[in-house]
Structure 1
Amino acid sequence: MLDLLPEELWSNPKARFLDPACKSGVFLREIAKRLDKGLESKIPDRQERIDHIMKHQLFGLSITELTGLMSRRTVYCSKIANGKYSVCTVFDNEQGNIRFRRIEHTWQDGRCVFCGANQEGYDRGPDLETHAYEFIHTQNPEDLFTMKFDVIIGNPPYQLDTGGSGRQAKPIYHLFVQQAKKLNPRYLVMIIPSRWFAGGMGLDDFRAEMINDSQIRTIVDYIDARECFPGVDIAGGVCYFLWAKDTDGDCKVINVFKDTVYESIRPLNEFNTFVRLAPAVSILRKVISKREEPMTRIISATRPFGLQTKDRPDGNGMLRLVTSAGSGNIPLERVKSGYEMIGKWKVMTSKTSHDHAGQPDKDGKRRVLSRIELLEPNAVCTESYIILGAFDNKSEAINCLVYARTQFVRFLISLLSFSQDITRERFAYVPMQDFSEPWTDEKLYQKYGLTPDEIAFIESMIRPMDASAEKNDE
């Protein structure tokens, strides 16, 4: 991340650096190493140079009291900035420039107005951390240090538990990015989850802001987060970026995946979402150029028949209910929506992706969709599934099912799939077809004019599935 910054920063004794989310202090430590070397000719005395760097150039806000101690130990070689063993001899307080101040959430209608934390879970006593991070719990971040920073860099906290049903987690990393921009630094470098590429879960505005920001010079994207953070599973991967004030132009995009690095220079806002891999861009351009209606037109919303995951058959009635635990009969009265689909042939797929949190398998491939099967007339399902289409005759439904199993379709879905959820929105790039005829990968490759390299790329990313309509993929 530091390598993205201009080399001349390391020999500038007036450059100031801020980590607004100190955890271990590693960013400030590595910056100190570069400044120590870069300022040798300007401040020859080693102790004077170190004192200058620590006192006048490096600043941090720790996210907890403990990480404050750890960060000071990392940077100053002492958890007490003005202690006996500190490498800096000019501090007059214990925290130095790496400070922690306990902040309380500001509650309104059960939520924090700054970060959205749930009051029930985070309104804690004085003995527990509040997780109300100082940097994002103010409308005036410029008052935190009352100085200008040349560089803001960090690895902010990613999410908070919302405390709602399903125990969803609310992203907060984007709040650190937005707050940092308010301070108007010359450069901003942060590492964050890549899920913002597709938006959702409160990230739609942030996605739009990012892809339309022509001051983002570089994005380095790890599709599998474990290649960046060994042993850490982060849905959708992670990325870090360089934002440079008063610059303009296309962005350099570097994707790291297994032993392959893809590099391109392109605008981030060519599509409504950010398409991460350069080879995928050329494929998507060809698909979109046909100006066909997206498949989202025929796909159901979540909970297609108004039945919850916990709903189970009761053995009565003429409808067959398919659940994650099996199937059985229910009466029509239990159905709350989707009546127009009940008497038709339907294509059903699991709402949950086959891939764990959108991660590829050990061979670097994804399957994307899990269970896909045909539902006969008078069969319905719970919200564990969505309906990919409802048809008057069985042959059209079969052709739709086989189409959904192609590597071509699942590749297009994968471009918008950064989490476990498979929803209608994930099919925004999948074009409608004439389902009076069957579709195969070969036929689709020919229709959209894909090159051998583009075909090879799709097949290197997506696992084959059995094309048989009778195959149960659960």
Structure 2
Amino acid sequence: MSSLFESTYNPDVLSCLANLSNDEVFTPPELANQMLDLLPEDIWHDPNATFLDPACKSGVFLREIAKRLIEGLADEYPDLQERLDHIYKRQIFGIAITELTSLLSRRSLYCSKYPNSKYSVVRFDGPEGNIRFKNVQHTWRDGRCVWCGAAQQQYDRDPSLEQYAYEFIHIDNPEEVLHMKFDVIIGNPPYQLSDGGNNASAMPIYQKFVEQAKKLNPRFLVMITPSRWFSGGRGLDSYRKDMLNDRHIRKLVDYEDANECFPGVDMSGGVSYFLWERDYKGDCAVINMKNGEADEQERDLGRYDILIRSNQAVSIVDKVTAHTSKFLSAYVSSQKPFGLRTFAQPTGRGDLTLRWRNGRGPIERTAITAGQEWIDKWKVIVSRVVYEHAGGTDAQGMRRVLSILEVLGPKEVCTETYIVVKTFDTEAEARNCMAYLALKFPRFLISQVASAQMVNKKSFMFVPDLDFSRSWTDVDLYNEFSLDDQETAYIENHIKEMNPGED
């Protein structure tokens, strides 16, 4: 039977497809099979098992599922055509995200974009087969879609154009879509919807597919999504809380570099896929993947408010939180510490000095709308943008993390290009704090939270607030928090040197 797919079309053609965008990424066949490998072997021998991909793009998941079932059910259905009819008509289902991907998915699965044609592997009565596409519309309320949150200004368009109103998440009860239960739900959902700005301001949408799939209560759920939900991401706080406290997640496979899954795709924060198992409750096997090597550790995902992605970093963070309950996140400013936007510039007059993205210059005190209590103090500031593009590492696997780290004196303020980490009454304390943040240990702790593009208040949730009347070294910190040789080596090998005040 293996010759069926090999003789009908090139089984690797789906790995050659260009991605629709960074929001809708095609899944390479190799990755689809890695995800399918998470499922128990006996499911491929079960003639009653049902499978759903609720976000079909290329149809690769359904095609690879079919190949496994065709082999696994050979004893149950010795007659090839009877086996095919049973598998394609009773076990495999999909919901396409667009009309184009519905045709592509049918071509991948049935070997014909019209499964009622003579070229189809099995003959259906209608042109959809078991891969449906319904051109649904957004439901607008107060400028947003009530189902997916899409902006009406961006997506209220001519009906002949693509609406990006995905059927699976535009219904309250997903059982109404196909009127059946599924043993396995698997897929690679769309990642985000544009707000009309750049990608950084786009709204995540993948979590809605996961939440809808859970409503169907399948035996197994496997999905691949961006990993930014681990610690950040707009609109993901509730989703992150639910995921971290969901004891049904049996495995989580995380790639810090998305290129290892999707070659040529630039995706900040990496990607990950998980196995959710209805009949399992317990710790999760977190698998860090890097350059093809796996590091696995059983963990309680709900240990902290964010997910520490590195297994080797967990013991370090545990030692820090066991030693102290005082962290710099208690002092870090909001996004606009002095109420000044990124584009604010010096006015050429005034008794204050503005630190903005192009340098320094005079500004009036009346322009300051927030943080007035900090104006006359010494301040340690950092740039909100991390040093590395997309939060990645260099060829040696090392990161610098912080880009700009400076001290501002009394009567000096800054735009929202920067955040204030802490304020002090004396210059000496401020400079000791700046030197402390330039050390490897604090930046390593920041990197466990700031895994994507931006540094914010939450990024300092594991960075200890220490006595800054004295100076610190990394050796001091390693001893203070009882790190062993393996833990200190891990930090030293993953964080670059940085000089205080270096831009």
TM score, norm. by length of structure 2:
0.91
Q: Secondary structure at the match of 1:269?
A: helix
Any unmatched runs of 5+ in structure 1?
A: none
What letter matches 2:46 in structure 1? Answer: N
Q: Which one of the candidate residues 31, 41, 57 is aligned to 2:75? A: 41
Q: For 1:190 and 1:424, locate their aligned partners in 2 and report how far apart those are by CA, in whole Å.
A: 30
**Worse-matched range after superposition: 202-211 or 25-34:** 202-211
Q: Secondary structure at the match of 1:241?
A: strand
Shift of 1:361: 2.0
Residue in 1 aligned with 2:487? 454
Shift of 1:147: 1.0
What letter matches 2:218 in structure 1? Answer: P
Residue in 2 aligned with 1:120? 153
Residue in 1 aligned with 2:120? 86
Are 2:202 and 1:169 aligned?
Answer: yes
Are 2:50 and 1:16 aligned?
Answer: yes
Pair 206,146 (structure 1): closer, same or farther in 2 beyond 3 Å: same
Residue in 2 aligned with 1:189? 222
Q: Which one of the candidate residues 240, 251, 263 is aligned to 1:230? A: 263
Shift of 1:298: 2.1
Pair 260,7 (structure 1): closer, same or farther in 2 beyond 3 Å: closer
**Worse-matched range after superposition: 27-36 or 166-175:** 166-175
Residue in 2 aligned with 1:395? 428
Q: Secondary structure at the match of 1:421?
A: coil
Are 2:34 and 1:4 aligned?
Answer: no
Residue in 2 aligned with 1:431? 464
Query: Deviation digits for residues 156-192 of structure 1, max 9, x if unmatched?
Result: 0000112369861111111001100111111000001
Q: For 1:300 and 1:168, locate their aligned partners in 2 and report how far apart those are by CA, in whole Å.
A: 21
Q: For 2:377 and 2:104, locate their aligned partners in 1 and report how far apart those are by CA, in whole Å.
A: 62
Identity %: 54
Residue in 2 aligned with 1:472? 502
Residue in 2 aligned with 1:300? 333
- For residues 15-414 of structure 1, the aligned pairs below 5 Å read 15-89=49-123, 91-163=124-196, 168-258=201-291, 260-414=293-447
Q: For 2:353 and 2:451, locate their aligned partners in 1 and report how far apart those are by CA, in whole Å.
A: 32
Q: For 1:196 and 1:311, locate their aligned partners in 2 and report how far apart those are by CA, in whole Å.
A: 31
Any unmatched runs of 5+ in structure 2?
A: 1-34
Query: Deviation digits for residues 368-421 of structure 1, max 9, x if unmatched?
Result: 111111112211111110111111111101100011111111111111113211
Q: For 2:421 and 2:183, locate their aligned partners in 1 and report how far apart those are by CA, in whole Å.
A: 50
Q: For 1:220 and 1:3, locate their aligned partners in 2 and report how far apart those are by CA, in whole Å.
A: 12
Query: Deviation digits for residues 215-273 of structure 1, max 9, x if unmatched?
Result: 11111110111111111121111111101112111111110123542110121111111
Query: Deviation digits for residues 295-332 of structure 1, max 9, x if unmatched?
Result: 01222111111111111112111211111022111111
What letter matches 1:114 in structure 2? Answer: W
Retained in 2: the 8 A contact 1:258–1:364? Answer: no
Pair 33,165 (structure 1): closer, same or farther in 2 beyond 3 Å: closer
Q: Secondary structure at the match of 2:302?
A: coil
Q: For 1:166 and 1:214, locate their aligned partners in 2 and report how far apart those are by CA, in whole Å.
A: 32
What letter matches 2:122 in structure 1? Answer: C
Q: For 1:62 and 1:404, locate their aligned partners in 2 and report how far apart those are by CA, in whole Å.
A: 48
What letter matches 1:445 in structure 2? Answer: Y
Retained in 2: the 8 A contact 1:154–1:189? Answer: yes
Q: Secondary structure at the match of 2:323?
A: coil
What letter matches 2:219 in structure 1? Answer: R
Q: For 1:146 and 1:3, locate their aligned partners in 2 and report how far apart those are by CA, in whole Å.
A: 27
Retained in 2: the 8 A contact 1:320–1:327? Answer: yes
Pair 350,178 (structure 1): closer, same or farther in 2 beyond 3 Å: same
Q: For 2:107 and 2:191, locate their aligned partners in 1 and report how far apart those are by CA, in whole Å.
A: 24
Superposition RMSD in Å: 1.3
Shift of 1:337: 1.4
Q: For 1:167 and 1:11, locate their aligned partners in 2 and report how far apart those are by CA, in whole Å.
A: 44
What letter matches 1:335 in structure 2? Answer: I
Q: For 1:45 and 1:396, locate their aligned partners in 2 and report how far apart those are by CA, in whole Å.
A: 80
Q: For 1:92 and 1:418, locate their aligned partners in 2 and report how far apart those are by CA, in whole Å.
A: 50
What letter matches 1:472 in structure 2? Answer: E
Q: For 2:430 and 2:140, locate their aligned partners in 1 and report how far apart those are by CA, in whole Å.
A: 51
Aligned length, in residue pairs: 469
TM score, norm. by length of structure 1:
0.97
Q: For 1:191 and 1:457, locate their aligned partners in 2 and report how far apart those are by CA, in whole Å.
A: 28
Retained in 2: the 8 A contact 1:28–1:58? Answer: yes
What letter matches 2:495 in structure 1? Answer: I
What letter matches 1:449 in structure 2? Answer: S
Pair 364,165 (structure 1): closer, same or farther in 2 beyond 3 Å: closer
Q: For 1:14 and 1:215, locate their aligned partners in 2 and report how far apart those are by CA, in whole Å.
A: 23
